Structure 1
Amino acid sequence: MDKEEQAMMGLWNIFKKRMWLDSFKMKDRLKGYNPSEIHCIAYIGKDEDSNVTKLAESFDMTRGAISKLTKKLVKKGLIESYQKLNNNKEVYFKPTEQGKAIYNIHEEMHKEFKDRDQPFFEQVTEKQLDVILDFAEKYNIHLDTEIKKLGVDIKFDKL
């Protein structure tokens, strides 16, 4: 295995381990909710005036899939829909009190994950972080170019 493959494998392993650790704890604290529901609530909690279009773009899902997800969240009492006085065509979403509780747990968990990893990052130098950030930026630009060649417009930066 060459260094490029080792680097990609190392990044992939970091991603898988982090996802496993995070989801292990989230599954315990957020029982009864699937990841798409939790992340939709989190997005709506952070982004005032969330609507189907914004959510579809953010999650790279169809508007139909988002409509189905938001209807499910409304039915569960986690979000509610509303319209603005000057725009009765567009439907927006905001979390209910129950949805805010889920949002707060989600935010607390992200803080816990950051705190868990902080001792490691305290050992990483500014120069090392700059190298990683430079690599990530350049590789993302490369991948965006490859995606555009396929004629697809996907935005992953909100996830």
Structure 2
Amino acid sequence: MEDAYRTINEVLVNLINEIWELEEKAIITEEFRDITNNDMHVIEAIGLGEDSNMSMVAKKLNITVGSLTTAMNSLVKKKYVKRERSETDRRVVYVRLTEKGRKAYLHHEDYHRQMTKVILERLDEKELPVLMKTLDALTEFFTGYVPAK
């Protein structure tokens, strides 16, 4: 059991690091060289819908609205995102992707699609439930994790 623990731990740590590094190399291409991997995840959280506001996006990213404001200012300046005040409630600010932002979003989505496709192509129908159970356990850990103080 100790060998299994060590192997799984090593694979998970390496996989997380490799995904982060490879994703940055894959999605921050010449066309999108003016943004960071974090910017791309803000773009992803805004999405292609029409009704994202700052609070909704911050909640998706599990960050404060203040932290998001800094990233959003940069993305607006670089013309990936535009802000629009609600006509019914001027306190509400909607954020929407520009055409440039939509291109970045679709580019990022394509990377994720390719990654998922490779995994699914290697599994048979009996293996898929095991992967799903494993991913559910990881999701449960990450969403419920509270750092020790």
Of 21-30 and 85-94, more deviation after overlay is shown by 21-30
Could you tell me the TM-score, scaled by structure 1's length?
0.75
Judge conservation of contact 2:48–2:97 (CA < 8 Å) in 1: no
Distance in 1 separating the partners of 2:97 and 2:139? 32
The alignment status of 1:43 with 2:45, answered yes or no, reads yes
CA distance 1:57–1:6, shift in 2 (3 Å): same
Distance in 1 separating the partners of 2:66 and 2:124? 45
State how many pairs are aligned.
147
Residue ranges of structure 1 left out of the alignment (5+ in a row): 152-159
Q: Match of 1:122, SS? A: helix
1:109 deviates by: 3.0
Judge conservation of contact 2:48–2:102 (CA < 8 Å) in 1: no
Alignment of 1:68-83 (within 5 A): 68-83=70-85
Judge conservation of contact 1:22–1:113 (CA < 8 Å) in 2: no
| Alignment RMSD | 2.7
Q: Which amino acid aligns with 2:27?
A: M
**CA offsets 1:120-142 (integer angstroms, 9 cap, x no match):** 53232222221222233235435
Could you tell me the TM-score, scaled by structure 2's length?
0.79
CA distance 1:136–1:78, shift in 2 (3 Å): closer
Residue ranges of structure 2 left out of the alignment (5+ in a row): none
